[in-house]
Structure 1
Amino acid sequence: MSSAPATDEGPHFVASIVIPAHDEERVIGRTLGALLDGCGRFDVVVVCNGCTDRTADLARSMGPAVRVLEIAEASKSAAVRAGNAATDVFPRVHLDADVEVSGADVVRLVEALDDEGVLATAPRRLVPREGCHPLVRWYLDVWEQLPQVADGLFARGVIALSHPGQDRVDALPRVMSDDLAISDAFAAHERRVVDTATVIVRPPRTVGDLLRRRVRVATGNAQATADGVRRAGSATGLSTLGQIVRDRPALAPRVIVFLAVTVVARARARRLVRSGDFTTWHRDESSRS
């Protein structure tokens, strides 16, 4: 079911925002509240996919600024396709249901797309550490130093695309690590991290949830590499970690933790890759509490 779509007589939209949501009742209100605070100039489409909780009801409760679609299949890619089909407004913003970005910051992302040659933008990432296990904090301290993490559009939960940018993304194969594939679809001069816009991305709080998330990422990365949509520079090598230690020797113990988590996650991911399982979503729940 869906609420009424936007009409030609409706307001002029700055952008459309597609939000795939699977059992996100704990966070969808927070996400939509931040997005809509003081700004109602977006065509917001929440696509509840395979939900068994109150996600759809809570999204509808945000008022007429939010359209809600419901599909039976629990699939992020299917939800994104449904959301894209439900709006013809550009630029198009893809927003994860568990992050927080203000409407004003989305406007900043959209405005950056007006610059010549820029087809995709994302905000600066804020990763709060409160409540996280010390080993999770150590992992994140290294992860945020990786050049591809600093420069890429992935792992931010928000990507804004121009019409030509969306057309390029539509031509990509469907992969688990969709944000990585989107980021790597654009050359450095075609994408931009907009430092004046911020998004809050809550990390896993437990080591177990960190591993689950990293298994998902490693599995998706392997698929993206096999499908030819991952740039070589997006991979983390020992030389990169070595440079981090040389630049910041105090991070050496943290690098050991980072390596340990990475080795375990890749080992578990290899089993999934061998079985061809690119659909099991190893979701962490602690970041949603």
Structure 2
Amino acid sequence: MDTHGVISVVVPAHNEAAVIGRLLRGLVTDARPGEFEIVVVPNGCTDDTERVAASVGEPVRVVPVASAGKYGALRAGDAHTTGDIVIYLDADVEIGADDLRRLAAALREPGVLAVAPERLVATARSSWTVRWYYDFWQQLPVVREGLFGRGVIAVSREARRRLLALPDVMGDDLAASVTFAPDERRVVPDTRVVVHAPRTLGDLVRRRVRSVTATTQLQRSMPKAVHAARTTRADLLGVVSRSPTTAPKLAVFLAVTALTRWRARRPIHSGDFTTWLRDESSRAV
């Protein structure tokens, strides 16, 4: 597949030594000479993320920054890119070189500014409550159509200006998704990213508390866009209507959502939009 030039890849990484090698080796194995430039930005790391990333070799380049923070890491990595297409990757996902090629090709279609791959949530090692939650969550319209929750977003040179203008918010992937109108963004068929789910209900709640807190923060600066990305009662009932066997999973989804909102009250009321509740269980390899 002709990609018409180098594809730039930016990977911010904070203490991702356990998983970043998996991502990078998966990309480099099938990469053609000169096809990708991969910029890894270890930020505020206290583990071996920098060493593991550097050990992969070309076309990986490591640009460490001292302070922890995804916002700063993304921009530091972006400054070292040269391609007209830039793909931002979370360090804990899995995606192949051919998927990146297909994303790049989709961005060359008229009017398309931002794309993401189809999402496969890996739940084989998760508890049944986590599996049921994600079984239902993935069927929601906003989840199927939005670019968030995938750990991957690819943008054109024009679109990068919009992303770089976004404020420093916790929910960077949701912000990136709602920045583009529905006709400007696309989930590309026949591409896939593997997103590893939490193993336990407690880890899932931690991850969802972060999401609720981040959404609340973003809503204050982009209220109309975030409101359009919310799940409605009609969306929930629509899933069950299309697939009646999901009714028990809806009960789990609603219970987790209620618990998550209750747990998120404290950070929201205190204005704590910086504490990153990280799920370590999904990074165990």
Matched, 1:242 2:242: no
* Aligned partner (choices 3, 13, 21) of residue 21 of structure 1: 13
Post-superposition offset of 1:14: 2.3
Matched, 1:80 2:74: yes
Post-superposition offset of 1:23: 0.5
* Aligned partner (choices 262, 266, 270) of residue 265 of structure 2: 270
Q: Pairwise mapping of residues 195-214 of structure 1 onto structure 2 (< 5 A)?
A: 195-214=189-208
* Aligned partner (choices 173, 177, 196) of residue 179 of structure 1: 173
Gaps of 5+ in 2: none
* Aligned partner (choices 159, 164, 173) of residue 165 of structure 1: 159
* Aligned partner (choices 250, 275, 279) of residue 274 of structure 2: 279
In structure 2, C-alpha distance between the alignment counterparts of 1:231 and 1:129, rounded to whole Å: 28
In structure 1, C-alpha distance between the alignment counterparts of 2:142 and 2:29, rounded to whole Å: 32
In structure 2, C-alpha distance between the alignment counterparts of 1:264 and 1:35, rounded to whole Å: 38
Further displaced range: 133-142 or 39-48:
39-48
Gaps of 5+ in 1: 1-11
In structure 2, C-alpha distance between the alignment counterparts of 1:268 and 1:238, rounded to whole Å: 22
Q: 1:254 — aligned with what? A: 249
Post-superposition offset of 1:286: 1.0
Q: 1:32 — aligned with what? A: 24
Query: Conserved in 2, the CA contact under 8 Å of 1:13 and 1:43?
Result: no
* TM-score normalised to structure 1 length: 0.93
In structure 1, C-alpha distance between the alignment counterparts of 2:76 and 2:164, rounded to whole Å: 13
Secondary structure (helix, strand or coil) at the match of 2:237 reads helix
In structure 2, C-alpha distance between the alignment counterparts of 1:64 and 1:122, rounded to whole Å: 25
Post-superposition offset of 1:238: 2.2
Post-superposition offset of 1:247: 2.0
In structure 2, C-alpha distance between the alignment counterparts of 1:107 and 1:247, rounded to whole Å: 34
Aligned-residue CA RMSD (Å): 1.3
Post-superposition offset of 1:88: 3.1
Post-superposition offset of 1:240: 1.5
Post-superposition offset of 1:232: 2.0
Q: 1:5 — aligned with what? A: none
In structure 2, C-alpha distance between the alignment counterparts of 1:49 and 1:270, rounded to whole Å: 29
Matched, 1:131 2:125: yes
> Number of residues paired by the alignment?
278
* TM-score normalised to structure 2 length: 0.94
Query: Conserved in 1, the CA contact under 8 Å of 2:75 and 2:164?
Result: no
Identity within the alignment, %: 51
Post-superposition offset of 1:175: 1.2
CA deviations 1:36-73 (Å, max 9, x no partner) are 12204111100000100111000000013111011111
Post-superposition offset of 1:143: 0.2
